[in-house]
């Protein structure tokens, strides 16, 4: 994961960064009510890289800001705040693990071979294959094999879903080389669960229990939220302190079943500590 701070400027300021060997120019500007950053480059390969879903995250005043792409190959982010000041900056975070897969992702994104349906999320369009979606998703299986009107449609409106995340989920379901990481896992699990893509939820759960660098409580909470019992047991066995988990301010948000598992082990931990004192 790499973070870049983009300071604001009254007059257009240009910030240059290197991304996977490509030069990207970032223009920032602001007025009293709005801050904006544009990602511009003359390199087609760099612009193609910007299409990889969930590669970037922008934050302003600790709030994630959505991004959209304009017709002139410029990514524009708009935020609104009170008395935006030049001393402030926009934080841009890049998921380096997805950058490693630029060639594979770009190849997938540059061709619609085999696609027979377009999923439209606002201004974001995702090209997919109905048979592959039906194979991986309970939601789309019901849509494409029953008498719903969407069965024969070539374009389907999907509401209340982040287009970038749906795109990433479709890529994963199509076995494209898109990685689940700590950077994107919360959004991917949410969308995969909504559309009944159990295999993707399980893939995310495996990452949480084995590879994730998120805090133990965050990992446990996500596994509990999506009822991944086997991974919960694996994670609990590897925890360093059950008492610390019990004392977390959000402990009561865990399910009763998960709380009970932690409490039993916390009691054992306290007894062991007392015996060695």
Please check whether residues 163 and 252 belong to one and the same domain.
Answer: yes
Please check whether residues 28 and 138 belong to one and the same domain.
Answer: no
Got the DSSP string for 213-236? -S-HHHHHHHHHHTT-HHHHHHHH
DSSP-derived 3-state class of residue 23: strand
| pLDDT at residue 104 greater than cutoff 60 | no
Please check whether residues 181 and 66 belong to one and the same domain.
Answer: no
Please check whether residues 14 and 110 belong to one and the same domain.
Answer: no
Please check whether residues 172 and 158 belong to one and the same domain.
Answer: yes
Q: What is the pLDDT of residue 27?
A: 80
Provide the CATH number for the domain around residue 166: 3.30.710.10
Q: What is the pLDDT of residue 3?
A: 83
Domain stop point among 99, 126, 152: 99
Q: What is the pLDDT of residue 196?
A: 96
102 or 153, greater pLDDT:
153
Please check whether residues 178 and 200 belong to one and the same domain.
Answer: yes
Q: What is the pLDDT of residue 272?
A: 79
- What's the pLDDT tens digit per position in 181-207? 998 999 999 999 999 999 999 999 999
176 or 211, greater pLDDT:
211
Domain stop point among 99, 129, 163: 99
Please check whether residues 74 and 110 belong to one and the same domain.
Answer: no
Please check whether residues 251 and 206 belong to one and the same domain.
Answer: yes
Domain stop point among 99, 121, 142: 99
- What's the pLDDT tens digit per position in 208-251? 998 899 999 999 999 999 999 999 999 988 887 888 888 888 89
Please check whether residues 65 and 122 belong to one and the same domain.
Answer: no
Tell me if 137 sits within 8 A of 197, measured CB to CB.
yes
Count: domains in the chain: 2
Domain span holding position 85? 2-99
Separation CA 202–CA 206 (nearest Å):
6
Verdict on whether the full-model pTM lies above 0.85: no
């Amino acid at each position: 994961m790499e973070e870049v701070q983009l300071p604001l400027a009254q007059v257009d300021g240009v910030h240059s960064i290197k991304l996977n060997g490509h030069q990207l120019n970032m223009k920032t500007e602001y007025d009293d009510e709005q801050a904006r950053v544009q990602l511009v480059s003359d390199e087609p390969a760099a612009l193609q890289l910007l299409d990889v879903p969930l590669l970037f995250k922008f934050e302003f005043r600790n709030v994630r800001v959505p991004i959209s792409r304009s017709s002139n190959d410029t990514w524009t982010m708009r935020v609104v705040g009170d008395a935006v000041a030049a001393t402030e900056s926009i934080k841009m975070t890049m998921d380096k693990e997805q950058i490693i897969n630029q060639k594979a992702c770009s190849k997938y994104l540059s061709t619609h071979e085999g696609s027979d349906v377009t999923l439209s999320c606002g201004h974001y369009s995702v090209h997919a294959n109905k048979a592959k979606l039906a194979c991986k998703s309970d939601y789309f299986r019901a849509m494409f094999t029953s008498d719903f009107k969407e069965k024969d449609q070539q374009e389907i409106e999907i509401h209340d879903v982040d287009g970038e995340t749906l795109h990433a989920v479709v890529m994963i379901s199509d076995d494209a080389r898109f990685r689940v990481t700590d950077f994107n896992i919360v959004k991917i699990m949410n969308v995969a669960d909504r559309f009944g893509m159990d295999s993707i939820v399980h893939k995310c759960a495996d990452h949480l229990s084995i590879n994730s660098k998120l805090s133990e409580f965050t990992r446990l909470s996500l596994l509990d939220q999506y009822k991944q019992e086997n991974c919960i047991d694996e994670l609990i066995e590897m925890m360093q302190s059950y008492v610390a988990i019990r004392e977390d301010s959000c402990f009561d948000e865990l399910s009763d079943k998960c709380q009970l598992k932690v409490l039993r082990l916390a009691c054992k931990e306290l007894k062991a500590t007392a015996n060695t004192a």
